[in-house]
């Protein structure tokens, strides 16, 4: 992990292909985190219609022209800070796994999340997968069992067999009323998302809040990610897992009987 924050200013300008003055209409706000998939504004004129502008990289917005301002070809309408490193290297693993932000931005996001949780009267629940809410094997003998989900992962010839813990949907439905739930697993990201689509096909419970082995800081303990995920503290966080040692037996942990 880095020890110093390093970011670079990056203005977003009207594309060179635009030959006429345009009116800018924003789709974002100052201090918002953006990435290349985010549409930041529309450039509009009466003659040629709308041009959609997307963020050039990962970072957050620092300055913006006024809504409805006229911009000319080559002129910058927005300025942002591109994140190249961070003092805490805090990844936004549930929404944008590859995005790292500084401690300051992470704290702002955490405060917003905390306020939203309190307003909804909910806590956070980190949910392990294997042997906590599901059981998976690639043993061919498992073909004889019923009520099992079978699938292959990309690039693997193996057939995986997954059985959901009894009454899982009912339990998740009940928990979702009181918790914002996150998947937290040592399975790799492809496996984690495969199981998430199986357990929560409509994304009602976990949405994209999935922390897999690919985002974990440490291959043997999940607790290493807690400060990065929750920089304002763990007072709103609960954990369910069949293995207590991977959380260093945190007081936030509810240790469950393994499902085998």
Instruction: Examine the residue annotation and report whether 128 is marked as an active-site residue of this protein.
Output: yes
Measured distance CA(257)–CA(133) in Å, rounded: 10
The catalytically annotated residue of 107, 128, 147, 241 is 128
Active-site annotation holder among 52, 130, 147, 214: 130
Question: How far out from the chain centre does Cα 93 lie?
Answer: 4
Q: Phi first, then psi: give them for residue 112, nearest 5 degrees.
A: -60, -45
Measured between alpha carbons, how far is 115 from 232 in angstroms, rounded to an integer?
A: 11
- Residue 130 annotated among the catalytic residues of the structure: yes
Beta bridge partners of 51: 43
Active site members: 128, 130
């Amino acid at each position: 992990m880095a020890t110093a924050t390093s970011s670079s200013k990056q203005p977003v300008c009207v594309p060179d292909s635009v030959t006429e003055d345009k009116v800018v209409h924003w789709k974002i706000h100052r201090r918002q985190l953006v990435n290349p998939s985010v549409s930041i504004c529309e450039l509009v004129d009466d003659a040629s219609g709308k041009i959609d502008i997307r963020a050039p990289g990962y970072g957050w917005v620092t300055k913006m022209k006024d809504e409805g301002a006229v911009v000319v070809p080559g002129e910058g309408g927005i300025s942002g800070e591109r994140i190249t490193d961070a003092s805490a290297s805090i990844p936004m693993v549930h929404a944008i796994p590859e995005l790292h932000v500084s401690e300051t931005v992470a704290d702002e996001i955490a405060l917003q999340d905390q306020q939203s949780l309190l307003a909804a009267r909910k806590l956070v629940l980190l949910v392990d997968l294997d042997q906590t809410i599901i059981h998976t094997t690639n043993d061919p003998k498992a073909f004889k069992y019923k009520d099992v989900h079978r699938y292959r992962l990309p690039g693997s010839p193996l057939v995986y067999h997954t059985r959901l813990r009894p009454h899982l949907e009912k339990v998740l439905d009940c928990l979702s009323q009181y918790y914002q739930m996150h998947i937290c697993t040592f399975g790799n990201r492809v496996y984690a998302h495969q199981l998430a689509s199986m357990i929560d096909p409509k994304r009602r419970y976990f949405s994209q809040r999935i922390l897999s082995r690919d985002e974990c800081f440490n291959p043997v303990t999940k607790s290493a990610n807690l400060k990065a995920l929750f920089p304002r503290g763990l007072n709103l966080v609960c954990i369910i897992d069949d293995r207590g040692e991977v959380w260093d037996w945190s007081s936030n942990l509810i240790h469950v009987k393994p499902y085998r």
